[in-house]
Amino acid sequence: MAAPFVRPIIPALTGIRGVAAAWVAIHHLLPPLCASIGLHALDHSSVVVNGFRAVDLFFILSGLILMLTHGNDFATRDMMMVRRFLILRLVRVVPLHVLIMLAIVPFVLMQPDFVRWSRVYTSPEYAYRQYDFSWPGFIQSLFLLQALTVAKLGMWNGPSWSLSAEVLGYFLFPALTWSLSGIHRRSLLHLLAAVALAAECGVLAAAHHAYNGPSGPMGSIRMLGGFVAGMALGRVVMLGGGSARAAIIMTSGGALLVMLTLIVPVLSPIMVFGFAWLLCGLACRTGVLARLLGCRPALWLGAISFPFYMVHFFLFKVFEWHFAPRFAQMGSIATLTAWAVLIGIMLALGVTLHKWVERPCHRLARRLVAGRVAPIMPPPVLPA
């Protein structure tokens, strides 16, 4: 019988996941919220504009956590372990995605005005919006093919493109783990992480996507660079990570680089380097920032971050469609109240889906793999 699945608990990494989800939501919600009450001071704020880069943090974090959790599962090239891993990962995330997609369908069928509104675009670069909520787009999104195909057949639930890229990472993970398992020098793993991120930045710059948040195949490039870097740094932590002082230097240096790229927006494409070493330092569970990100509010937001992230964008678009023409007549108090209710609904739905869909799927995944393979190596002992 297989050893029970055990996930290493690193509170700071759960907390920063919640911060990242909130940052994406701020990127989407804050500019129209301010515009609805006549404020435009934050329209070009670097923090708000670069909120899409929190998705890159998710990709790096995913590679790091998966390496810490499953890095020892592939000591040998056993296809049973590959199937076990894919069941564990896909059953955890795909049912929630499918449920949200199916829940959107009745609204789309009953509100053709919303569909027509969604398909309005203001410049040729957004011409793909004319296909939003098309049925070919539904099939593409339902089967998570957005990040794997050049064709833009129409968006249904915007954030699902990143899940499409993430699933690609799941399928590549075993082979990448086999490749990394033979590397035992931490310096070489740090270099590999830097090379992966530099290659990602170079490709995005060459494709003129350094300062926006591309999806589709370029979204897969974002995922691959961050995912491989996260895996390499996860192996660094598995090998001991270095001293507590080194961990604090990585955490502080990563955080300072992120702040620098926000202060000097032209440097924002290299923010991913700050994310990577910030997360590597946090994984060693040392320092003030690790304790702050491990506080109860951050952990709560981190726990519901996946369902919150997956539902927030569609709810926001419905809200914008319904209320945008009415804001001028509503007044500031009523407008802010409407926004507060929207955010409350997003959080409540995130909590509900986490409790009744995400957590049961986690338990189902563990039951499905129980007894399927021979005993596996125990999870890594992480530094205190």
Q: What is the pLDDT of residue 372?
A: 52
**One-letter amino acid of 82:** V
Residues 6+ apart with CB under 8 A from 70: 85, 173, 177
Give pLDDT tens digits for 61-93.
Answer: 999 999 999 999 887 888 899 999 999 999 999
Where on the phi/psi map is residue 69: left (φ > 0), alpha (ψ -120 to 50), or beta?
Answer: alpha
| pLDDT band at residue 384 under the 50/70/90 scheme | very low
Token pair in block for residue 108: 């789309």
pLDDT in tens, 289-300: 999 999 999 999
CA distance 206 to 209: 8
- Whether 377 contacts 71, CB under 8 Å: no
Cα separation, 105 vs 94, in Å, equals 17
Contact 27, 52 (CB under 8 A): yes
pLDDT tens digits along 229-263: 999 999 999 998 778 888 899 999 999 999 999 99
pLDDT range class, residue 47, cuts 50, 70, 90: very high
Range with lowest mean pLDDT among 207-211, 305-309, 316-320, 367-371? 367-371
DSSP 129-195: GGGTT-HHHHHHHHTT-TTT-S-----SSTTHHHHHHHHHHHHHHHHHHHHHTT---HHHHHHHHHH
Cα 311 → chain centroid: 13
Q: What are the helix (H) ranges across the chain? A: 11-36, 46-49, 54-70, 79-110, 112-118, 135-142, 160-180, 186-206, 216-238, 244-263, 271-283, 288-293, 296-303, 305-323, 327-330, 332-353, 359-369
What is the arithmetic mean of pLDDT over 359-372? 88
Instruction: Report the pLDDT value the prediction gives residue 8, as an integer from 0 to 100.
Output: 60
Closest CA to 136 of 118, 153, 157: 153
Report the chain's C-alpha Rg in angstroms.
21
By percentage, how much of the chain surpasses pLDDT 70?
Answer: 94
DSSP conformation letters of 323-341: HGGGHHHH-HHHHHHHHHH
Classify 18 as helix, strand or coil.
Answer: helix
| Packing angle, helices 160-180 and 216-238, rounded to 10 | 40
Terminal CA-to-CA distance of the chain, rounded, Å? 30
Query: Domain boundaries in the chain?
Result: 11-369
Lookup: tokens for 263: 């202060």
Kindly tell me the number of DSSP H helices and DSSP E strands found in the chain.
17, 0
Phi and psi dihedrals of 258, rounded to 5?
A: -60, -45
